[in-house]
Amino acid sequence: MADYRERVSALSPEQRRLLAERLRRGRLPGDVADRTVPRGHESNRPDNTPSGRPMAFSLFFFSADGATNQPDKYRLLLESARFADKHGLAAVWTPERHFQGFGGLYPNPSLLAAALAMVTDRVQIRAGSLVLPLHHPARVAEEWAVVDNLSRGRAGISFGSGWHPQDFLLAPESYASRREFTLRHIQTIRDLWAGKKVRFSDPDGSEYEVAVLPRPIQAEIPIWISIAGNPQSWIEAGQLGANVLTTFVSQPPDELSRRICLYHDALRSNGFRPERSTVTVMVHTFLGEDDELVKDRVREPLTQYLRSFLEQKEDLLPGGVRSGGGMQEADKNAMVRAAFERYFKDQALLGTPQKCIGLVEQLLDLGVAEIACLIDFGLDADAVMGGLEHLARLQSCYDGRGRGASIE
C-alpha cells in the first residue's frame, strides 16, 4: 500500500489527471476510494456474530481463463451448480462476454443455462448479465423460454446494456443507443413472455405481430438490471419494478446506501413494493479454515485476475475511445497489489466464515438481500469446491430459520 501511495504522490498533476481519466469508468475498485461505513450502519457486533437476518447466497461466474486450452473448462461450473443445488444456495449466474480471455468462457448464457438445467433440480438459473443490445428481443424470449421449460420454471435474467466496443462487433448499429435499446426491450420481452403478440418489421419493412414459442413455465420471468453505479440506472430499475445486480467494490458503502434508497423510492413511486424486490451484490469469494492461509492461497490468482481486468479497460477513455497508451508496468503492479489488499481486508468474502460475517452484516445494513459469490477467479477447481463447504457454513447462519447464532 505504501509503495502505491508513493508512486501516486510522485505523479505530476497532468499524470494524475490522465490516470484518473483512464480509470474513471474502469478503475480497479478499492484502490483509492475512501471506504467509510455510512452513518447509521456502524457494526454493533464486535465479535462478528451473525444477526439472524436472512441473506441469500448465490454463485457467480466470470472466469479470466477463457483463452486457455485446458480440458474440462466447465467442470467447475457444473460441479459447483450441483453443490449449490444440494446446499440450498439461491442461484447460479453465468455472464455474457465476447472475444476476451476475461469472461470468454461465457459467450452465451442461455446455452450454459440449458446445461445447468440438466444437472440441477431447485437452484435458480440466471444470466448475469445478458447484453440485450446484442440480441433481438424475440430471440431472447425464445431461448429463455426453453431454459424455463428445461429447468421447470427456474430461469432468471439480469439485463445489461454492454460497455466494451469490441462486443458490439455482433451488433454495431446498437452501440450508440444501447442504453435506450435495453430499457425499451425489457418490456418487449416481458410482453412476449406473457404470451402477448408484439409487432416487428421484416427486411422489406412490412410489420407482423408475433408471439414466441415455446410457452414458458413461469408466468413472469424474474428480471434484474445490471448496474455499475450510475444513480439514474437505479431509478430506472425501480421504475421498471426490476431487481438490481451490482458490485460492492465499485462504490463505497455510503454511495451504495444512497443508491438503494433512490431505487426503493422509485419502486414505491411506481406502485412496487421494495420488500418484494432484490438488490444482489457480486462479491469475490473464497472461504477456508485460516485467514492467513486463505490470503496466501488467493494472492496470486486474484492478483492476476485483477490485472486482467485492468488490462482490458485501462486504455479505454469515456465513451469507449481508445487512448492509444497504457500505464507504466510499475504503476500497474502497484495498483493491483493495493487493490488486492483492499479486497482481502473488507471488500470480498475472503478468509474464514467468522471473518466474513462482518461484510455480510454490513451489506444487510445497506439493504442488500443477496450476495452473488464470484468463485472462478483463478483457483483450481478442487480448491474452489473445498471452499464451498465453508461458504455453506456461512450461508446456514443466514437461511432465515434462526439457525447459526454462532459460526462454530
pLDDT tens digit sequence for 135-185: 999 999 999 999 999 999 999 999 999 977 888 899 999 999 999 999 999
Q: What are phi and psi of 398, to 5 degrees?
A: -130, 30
In this predicted structure, which of 344-348, 349-353, 366-370 has the lowest mean pLDDT?
A: 344-348
Residues 363-399 as b or e (16 or more Cβ within 10 Å = b): bbbbbbbbbbbbbbbbbeeeebbebbebbbbbbbbbe
Overall average pLDDT of the 41-65 stretch = 77
Is residue 9 very low, low, confident or very high in pLDDT (cuts 50, 70, 90)?
A: low
pLDDT tens digit sequence for 282-330: 999 999 999 999 999 999 999 987 887 777 655 433 333 343 445 677 7
Reading the block at residue 110, the C-alpha cell is 442461455
Residue 62 DSSP label: -
Q: What is the helix (H) or strand (E) element at residue 370, kind and residue range?
A: strand 370-374
Q: Pick 216 or 52 by higher pLDDT.
A: 216
Among 339, 305, 371, 362, which Cα is nearest to 33's?
A: 339
Q: What percent of the chain has pLDDT over 90?
A: 66
pLDDT at 339: 86
How far apart CA 110 and CA 151 sit, in angstroms, is: 12
pLDDT at 251: 86
pLDDT tens digit sequence for 10-28: 544 544 444 444 443 333 4
How far apart CA 14 and CA 205 sit, in angstroms, is: 52
In this predicted structure, which of 203-207, 255-259, 404-408 has the lowest mean pLDDT?
A: 404-408
Q: Pick 128 or 315 by higher pLDDT.
A: 128
Side-chain-side CA neighbours of 353 within 13 Å: the count stands at: 19
Overall average pLDDT of the 41-67 stretch = 75
pLDDT at 3: 43
Helix axes of 178-193 and 231-240: crossing angle, nearest 10 degrees: 20
Instruction: Give the rounded distance of the alpha carbon of 392 from its chain centre.
Output: 20
How far apart CA 62 and CA 12 sit, in angstroms, is: 36
Overall average pLDDT of the 232-258 stretch = 95
Residues 143-152 as b or e (16 or more Cβ within 10 Å = b): bbbbbbbbbe
Q: Say if residue 98's pLDDT is above 60.
A: yes
pLDDT at 388: 98
Is residue 197 very low, low, confident or very high in pLDDT (cuts 50, 70, 90)?
A: very high
Q: What does pLDDT average to over the chain? A: 85
Helix axes of 253-269 and 353-366: crossing angle, nearest 10 degrees: 40
Domains and CATH numbers, the chain: 50-296+348-396 (3.20.20.30)
Tell the residue number behind the cell numbers 486463505, with chain if given: 294
